[in-house]
Amino acid sequence: MTAASPALVKDIRAASRKLVREFGFLDKTIAGTDLSGSGVHAIMEIGLHPGITAKELAAKLKLEKSTISRLLKTLEKRDEIELTRSATDRRAFGLNLTREGKKTFRTIDRFGERLACGALSRVKGVTAETVAETLSAYADALPSPEEQTDVPRSSPEILEGYQTGMIGDVAAMHARTHAPIIGTGPDFESVVSKAMADFMPRIGNPVNNSWSVVEDRQVIGSITIDGEDLGGNIAHLRWFILSEPLRGTGLGKALLLKALTHCDKHGFDEIHLWTLKGLDAARALYERNGFELADEYVGDQWGKAVTEQKFLRKRPV
């Protein structure tokens, strides 16, 4: 995009300040609740991402560790949230809304939806799609260039092969990411864990491999190529996942590139992957790297009927 004139920049900044005022962020309490702005945002993110950790929430809200700790203690005292110890890391806790927290979530959600729908109904000459795309692009561009580099300066390390604890870490990330589609029961996480446990004894075979983003001895992103289970000189791309704070950092692209390079090196004719409909950011990344949608169907192997999608990439000629 070409540089905006000083007058346009001034108008955009004025509109941004008005958005903050109209949504009530200058008030002591907002969104029809008695919560502060940070409390409202915390409830929304925990409701949208069940099982999110305090560290992940702090990164998403851009709050210091001490601030997020005080905020979570307040919400816990109000019986808005509950902490559940991770099954894979006894030091970590996932955050979930209680019954009271879910009521607050619905109140906040209805407040925001009412404001947005009302405003959109009064906008003339611009479609809702244009408003959504433009606002999203503007919001995504707000971080400083230092924060937008493909791999952050303090980037966690990408390691090859099996990593201690990765089965539990990767299964937990899948469960949290897919919860809005699959639900929060144990079926999905159990299926992922079992499939990974069956594969890992074969990871040392030359056509198989995994690459993981590791920080503080925890796997926070991963991708795997199984070159054996499908047969027919077809590679199976499996368990591609990133923890929430890593998305948009370029690490997903880096992991996928390692997997594709491995497949091209070993001469696979095709790479197949299966995913769930609705994971649009992942689909966009696949399609930018040569994958095409090959099939779409309803499956119930995860404990709930969901629309699954199969993508494939043919070896570049």
CATH of the domain at 117: 1.10.10.10
pTM over 0.75: no
Res 151 pLDDT > 60: no
3-state helix, strand, coil in the chain (%, to 5): 50, 20, 30
Return the minimum-mean-pLDDT range out of 24-38, 119-133, 204-218, 220-234. Answer: 24-38
**109 and 181 together in one domain:** no
Asked if residue 129 is part of any domain, the answer here is yes
* Of 241, 118, 215, nearest in space to 158 by CA: 215
Q: Is residue 150 part of a domain?
A: no
Domain of 251 in residue numbering reads as: 157-314
Residue 74 has pLDDT above 50, yes or no: yes
Residues 105 and 45 sit within 8 Å (Cβ to Cβ): no
Phi, psi of 63 (to 5 degrees): -115, 150
Higher pLDDT: 314 or 249? It is: 314
Over 90: is that where the pLDDT of 215 sits? no
Strands 93-97 and 157-160: unpaired
The residue among 10 and 168 whose pLDDT is bigger is 168
